[in-house]
Amino acid sequence: MNKTIYAAMAAALAAGAAQAQSNVTMYGIIDAAVEYYSNADAAGNNLTRMPSLGGGMFPSRLGFRGSEDLGDGLKAIFQLENGFAPDTGTLGQNRLFGRQAWVGLQGKWGQLTFGRNYNMLNISTYDVDIIGPSQYGLGSLDSFIPNGRSDNSIAYRGTFSGVTIGGTYSLGRDTSSAGGPAGTGCAGESATDATACREWSALLRYDAPGYALIGAYDRIYGGAGAANGLNSSDKTDSRAHIAAFFKQEDWKLGVGIIQRNNEGSATQPRSNLVYLGAAYNVTPFFTLDGQVARLNYRATNNDSKQFLLRGVYNLSKRSAVYVAIGRIDNDGTAALALSAGGSTAAGLNQNGIITGIKHSF
């Protein structure tokens, strides 16, 4: 009798172990580049450097992702992703796992995750932003776009018959006070001010053969001591993104507009960022792409225009070399740099060239 019971228990445990199959993958990208650009300061001096905030084409990263099959189509999932600067080996985003750090569940209904998640504005730029999170990209005009992640957040995303819906809600969007776009010092989770440093975002996307239509919205709340003028919880910074892309076998076209209402700025609260990009596969190994963008501050002349052209040669499925040239025109008191993390002076234009190598694993 006891042998029968023990055998049944062993069989049940074996069946449970067979169902709960776990899978963990390590992955990464190393992208290092050298660039030269003009008007790096008010005196008009030029600069040659290796950029630290990311590679020339993709930010470098090391990550771990995994899942466990819980049965009946349900999975436990997690992702840890570290950003780093290959020129010095230092951490990115002022955190050990600054790009992503979350755990959650996934099923036919979508996925629900808890931790440090991408917000939906960042996700809405996937596919449609041709240049992407490169050193010369939309992040030079609005650094929030490639740094759209939220601490202390709950995220949901699901796709049903070509329609994707998603949303995030953060109880405290940025616990780092190190400065820069990933360290704005707004930890939130305050017993005395429930609104301080909250953030929410939403996504609606429709995919069809050859095209996609995308809409997203993100709103962040300020808090005492937060950066960028958002020093109280009654101040918000909101962005609405409407975009589309069209593609065939050898080409792709992406277009979008990001409307911003920034209550942290007393002089330039409202702006429109419009962009248009295209990519063409010249050969199976070589891609030529480019993008034009304009950041327009309403009721001012402090606008910036960006022009980019890039060539990417794939040495293999994992390795590529590239070269990109770009220009940014600053009007009025605008002082945006062509290269992320770079600098220039008010009203100066910049020309730049960057070349590097990317390897993924």
Say if residue 199's pLDDT is above 80. yes
Q: Tell me whether residue 329 is in a domain.
A: yes
Q: Tell me whether residue 17 is in a domain.
A: no
Q: Which CATH number fits the domain that encloses residue 290?
A: 2.40.160.10
Long-range contacts, stretch 110-115, CB < 8 angstroms, 24+ apart:
110/156, 110/157, 110/158, 110/159, 111/77, 111/156, 111/157, 111/158, 112/154, 112/155, 112/156, 113/77, 113/154, 113/155, 113/156, 114/153, 114/154, 114/155, 115/153
Cα separation, 265 vs 73, whole angstroms: 48
Q: Tell me whether residue 112 is in a domain.
A: yes
- Strands, E assignment, the chain: 22-37, 47-49, 61-71, 74-85, 90-91, 100-107, 110-118, 149-160, 163-170, 199-208, 211-221, 236-247, 251-262, 270-281, 286-297, 304-314, 319-330, 350-360
**272: domain range?**
22-360
Q: Which two tokens stand for residue 318?
A: 């994992």
**pLDDT value for 330:** 97
Where residue 340 falls among pLDDT bands split at 50, 70, 90?
A: confident
Q: Which two tokens stand for residue 293?
A: 């963008």
Residue 95 corresponds to which amino acid?
R
**pLDDT value for 356:** 97
Question: pTM of the predicted model, to two decimals?
Answer: 0.91
Say if residue 175's pLDDT is above 90. yes
When divided into structural domains, the chain yields a total of 1
Q: Tell me whether residue 12 is in a domain.
A: no
Where residue 326 falls among pLDDT bands split at 50, 70, 90?
A: very high
- For residues 227-265, b (16+ Cβ closer than 10 Å) or e, as one string? bbebebbebbbbbbbebebeeeeeebbbbbebbbebbbb
Cα separation, 163 vs 89, whole angstroms: 40
Residue 13 corresponds to which amino acid?
L
Q: Tell me whether residue 3 is in a domain.
A: no
Q: Which two tokens stand for residue 354?
A: 């960057």
Name the residue among 103, 142, 81, 108 with its Cα closest to residue 22.
Answer: 103
Q: How many CB atoms lie within 10 A of CB 30?
A: 17
pLDDT digits (tens, 9 = 90+) for 96-129: 999 999 999 999 999 999 999 999 999 999 999 9
Instruction: Find out whether 293 and 272 touch, Cβ atoms under 8 Å.
Output: no
pLDDT digits (tens, 9 = 90+) for 48-85: 999 987 678 999 999 999 999 999 999 999 999 999 99
Q: Tell me whether residue 346 is in a domain.
A: yes
Q: Tell me whether residue 8 is in a domain.
A: no
Q: Tell me whether residue 52 is in a domain.
A: yes
Say if residue 298's pLDDT is above 50. yes
* Average pLDDT of the chain, as a whole number: 93
Say if residue 14's pLDDT is above 90. no
DSSP 3-state of 2: helix
Say if residue 18's pLDDT is above 80. no
Tell me the average pLDDT across 166-170: 98
Q: Which residue has the tokens 């999932």?
A: 77
Q: What are phi and psi of 303, to 5 degrees?
A: -105, 165
Say if residue 4's pLDDT is above 80. no
